[in-house]
């Protein structure tokens, strides 16, 4: 079955998944296409047929104009799918007896799930940014939003866009992975408080160096919660620059996590 014969996708143009860049142009990535295919199958991602999705993905490429900028990504993804499919011809002893036949390899499932998580986070950040834009201009930062807002020396729009851009850079600069771990905001609050144990202020960018995407998002949410609880003061010197945080109550950094639990 090709993409053109999938129920509801007789017109290939209706199948295109688009997202807007900061420049306003639309891009359609191969992972977005794979996700829409999986959703059209109405099965669990671990039950998707590798042969079927490979056939449909290549069929999409044949029927849909793809820009020169995106052709390399689509070709690379198609080559990966064909490589995975070719491994089905190998004896089970080579690919592993526990590998289910004709299903997506675990590494591709990891990448797709991480992509979906990133898209959800990016959508949430855009929604926050849109709501903020209705309430504040660039000149009216969080410090002007509340009378006692001296713990927020940042511009709301710059703050949100900084984190969104940082996530996009991290996504491009590292292999997508899913870590088998449970991350809570409370744990990240303790971690961020520990970054202030030496006194002074800390850098958000440096604090999350080497972290998984999920842990970076948890740290950002922790920082927002700490600011909300007036445990830390946030500062951003430059538009879209690094985010710095310092204790709101002076040198009492050891009590930050305890104070949060008590609120």
As for how many domains the chain has, the answer is 2
Q: Please identify, among 57, 77, 104, the residue that sits at the C-terminal boundary of a domain.
A: 104
Whether 233 and 120 map to the same domain: the answer is yes
Structural domain of 138: 115-262
Q: What is the pLDDT of residues 234-245, one digit of tens each?
A: 887 776 678 889
Asked if the structure places residue 9 within a domain, the reply is yes
CA distance 212 to 209: 9
pLDDT at residue 8 is higher than 70: no
Whether 201 and 119 map to the same domain: the answer is yes
Q: What is the CATH number of the domain that holds 134?
A: 1.10.10.580
Whether 130 and 248 map to the same domain: the answer is yes
**Percentage above 70 pLDDT, the chain:** 60
Q: What is the pLDDT of residues 135-194, one digit of tens each?
A: 444 444 444 334 344 444 555 566 667 777 777 776 666 554 545 556 788 888 999 999
The confidence score (pLDDT) of residue 13 equals 37
Asked if the structure places residue 110 within a domain, the reply is no
**Is residue 188 within 8 Å of 232, Cβ to Cβ?**
no
Whether 126 and 201 map to the same domain: the answer is yes
Q: Which of 14, 134, 127 is nearest to 64 (CA)?
A: 14
Q: Which of 216, 226, 221 is nearest to 193 (CA)?
A: 226
Whether 230 and 161 map to the same domain: the answer is yes
Asked if the structure places residue 247 within a domain, the reply is yes
CA distances from 17 to 21, 23, 83, 97, 112 (A): 13, 18, 25, 36, 15
CA distance 40 to 252: 54
3-class DSSP state for residue 22?
coil
What is the mean predicted confidence (pLDDT) over 105-128? 80
Q: Please identify, among 80, 104, 128, the residue that sits at the C-terminal boundary of a domain.
A: 104
Asked if the structure places residue 213 within a domain, the reply is yes
**Is residue 16 within 8 Å of 28, Cβ to Cβ?**
yes
Asked if the structure places residue 211 within a domain, the reply is yes
Q: Please identify, among 104, 135, 161, the residue that sits at the C-terminal boundary of a domain.
A: 104
Asked if the structure places residue 60 within a domain, the reply is yes
Whether 70 and 100 map to the same domain: the answer is yes
- Reported as type and span, the H/E element at residue 174 is none
Question: Tokens standing for 84?
Answer: 């995975």
Q: pTM value?
A: 0.45
Asked if the structure places residue 253 within a domain, the reply is yes
CA distance 109 to 158: 34
């Amino acid at each position: 079955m090709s993409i053109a014969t999938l129920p509801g996708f007789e017109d290939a143009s209706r199948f295109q998944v688009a997202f807007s860049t900061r420049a306003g142009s639309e891009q359609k990535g191969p992972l977005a296409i794979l996700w829409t295919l999986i959703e059209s199958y109405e099965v669990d991602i671990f039950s998707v047929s590798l042969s079927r999705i490979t056939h449909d993905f290549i069929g999409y490429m044949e029927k849909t104009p793809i820009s020169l900028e995106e052709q390399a990504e689509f070709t690379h993804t198609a080559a990966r799918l064909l490589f995975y499919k070719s491994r089905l011809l190998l004896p089970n002893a080579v690919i592993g007896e526990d590998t289910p036949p004709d299903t997506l390899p675990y590494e591709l499932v990891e990448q797709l799930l991480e992509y979906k998580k990133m898209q959800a986070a990016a959508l949430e950040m855009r929604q926050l940014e849109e709501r903020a834009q209705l309430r504040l201009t660039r000149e009216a930062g969080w410090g002007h939003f509340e009378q006692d807002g001296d713990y927020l020396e940042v511009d709301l729009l710059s703050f949100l866009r900084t984190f969104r851009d940082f996530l996009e850079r991290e996504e491009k600069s590292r292999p997508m992975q899913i870590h088998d771990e449970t991350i809570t905001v409370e744990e990240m609050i303790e971690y961020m408080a520990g970054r202030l144990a030496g006194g002074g202020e800390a850098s958000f960018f440096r604090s999350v160096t080497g972290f998984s995407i999920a842990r970076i998002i948890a740290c950002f949410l922790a920082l927002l919660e700490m600011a909300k609880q007036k445990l830390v003061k946030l500062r951003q010197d430059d538009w879209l620059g690094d985010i710095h945080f310092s204790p709101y109550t002076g040198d009492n950094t050891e009590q930050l996590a305890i104070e949060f639990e008590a609120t």
